[in-house]
Amino acid sequence: MWSIKFVPGEYYKRSEIHDQFGGNRQRGISASAKEPVIFIFSGASGAQYGYSDDWNEEKTLFMYTGEGQIGDQVFSMGNKALRDHVNNSKDVLLFHHSKNGLYRFDDQLTLIGYETKQSLDREGNMREVIQFVFESSSYLTRSVEEELEGNKLTYDRSLDELKELALQDTSNGHDSVQMKRVKVRKRSEAIKLYARARADGTCEACEQPEPFEAKSGSSLEVHHMYRLSDGGPDHPEHVAAICPNCHARIHRGVDGMEYNETLIERILDKEDPFRMKYIH
The CA dihedral of 135, 140, 141, 146, to the nearest 10 degrees, is 170
CB of 187 to Zn ion, least distance (A): 19
Q: Does 31 bind Zn ion (CB under 5 A)?
A: no
CB of 225 to Zn ion, least distance (A): 8
Q: Does 243 bind Zn ion (CB under 5 A)?
A: yes
Phi-psi domain of 76 (left: phi exceeds 0; alpha: psi -120 through 50; beta: other)? beta
Number of residues that bind Zn ion (CB under 5 A): 7
| Total Cβ atoms within 10 A of residue 3 | 8
CB of 240 to Zn ion, least distance (A): 9
Q: Which of 246, 259, 260, 267 forms a contact with Zn ion (CB under 5 A)?
A: 246
Q: Would you say 22 or 211 has its CB closer to Zn ion?
A: 211
Long-range CB pairs of 259-267 (<8 Å, 24+ gap) are: 259/205, 260/1, 260/225, 262/205, 263/204, 263/205, 263/223, 263/225, 264/225, 264/226, 266/204, 266/205, 266/240, 267/204, 267/225, 267/237, 267/240
Q: Does 206 bind Zn ion (CB under 5 A)?
A: yes
CB of 141 to Zn ion, least distance (A): 11
Give me the amino acid identity at 13: K
Judged by CB under 5 A, the stretch of 125-133, 143-151, 186-194, 203-211 that binds Zn ion is: 203-211
Q: Does 220 bind Zn ion (CB under 5 A)?
A: no
CB of 205 to Zn ion, least distance (A): 4
Q: Which of 81, 203, 239, 240 forms a contact with Zn ion (CB under 5 A)?
A: 203
Q: Are 110 and 183 in contact (CB under 8 A)?
A: no
Residues that bind Zn ion (CB under 5 A): 203, 205-206, 223, 230, 243, 246
